[in-house]
Amino acid sequence: GIVVLGLNRSHAKNALNKNILKMMTKTVDALKSDKKVRTVIFRSEVPGIFCAGADLKERAKMHSSEVSSFVSKARATINEMANLPVPTIAAIDGTALGGGLELALACDIRVAASSAKMGLVETKLAIIPGAGGTQRLPRTIGVSLAKELIFSARIVDGEEAKSIGLISHVVEQNEAGDAAYRRALALAREFLPQGPVAMRVAKLAINQGMEVDLVTGLAIEEACYAQTIPTKDRIEGLLAFKEKRPPRYKGE
């Protein structure tokens, strides 16, 4: 039930270009309707790099109208990732800059090696984050601190990222260079025993509730809770609790 998506464009430090975005869109579309998928992990297969952001060499060859189209495509692709119905984890074992960090911010949970480097550095290029960074970073670490990081184009390591709430877990890097990925796998395995329908509905309730006032959010929770009542998962969960055994969920 754990799907691992690995970026592997080593010669360009996993920079996001038209082709990568096209492949990501196609993959995310397939995952949305696959009921066997329980958790998705985004990682890099290139040592020392998560994603260096947009491919600036490709962008330099674009007409100005093409640049706008490319940024819109990147924003839409990352939004689709954020809207996957199952939990998503970003395993940051290396550098995540610009669009690379925006990609990680779209995941539900971020895990990073202490040696990893992260930042929204677009203001150095006289532009701003255009694939969700100006919206997701303040929602993650708070408005004032997000402004500071974006205004300064500052890069933080895993330890500082953990201290400001940018990531959930920081781990010491190992010899294989995949410590964050291993931690992400351990987290994903914690999610597997839970009811598949409940997991999807819980994510929906949290995501929608965070964008509205508390009263509306509680109404959303009530509506989402109602979706779990008739499911076979719920019946199996209650029966397993009564019989003091692990539940055997099949999903619906």
Residues marked active site are found at: 54, 99, 102, 122
Q: Position of tokens 């495509």?
A: 73
φ/ψ of residue 17, rounded to 5: -120, -175
The structure tokens 């080593």 sit at 10
- In whole angstroms, give the CA distance from residue 226 to residue 232: 13
Helices marked H in 44-195: 56-60, 64-82, 99-105, 133-141, 143-152, 158-163, 179-191
What distance in Å separates the CA atoms of residue 170 and residue 93, rounded to the nearest whole number?
10
What is the C-alpha to C-alpha distance for residues 50 and 216, in angstroms, rounded to an integer?
A: 37
d(CA 33, CA 31): 6
Residue 169 exposed, middle or buried by CB count within 10 Å (0-12, 13-18, 19+): middle
Task: Please list the residues that pair with 15 across neighbouring strands.
Answer: none
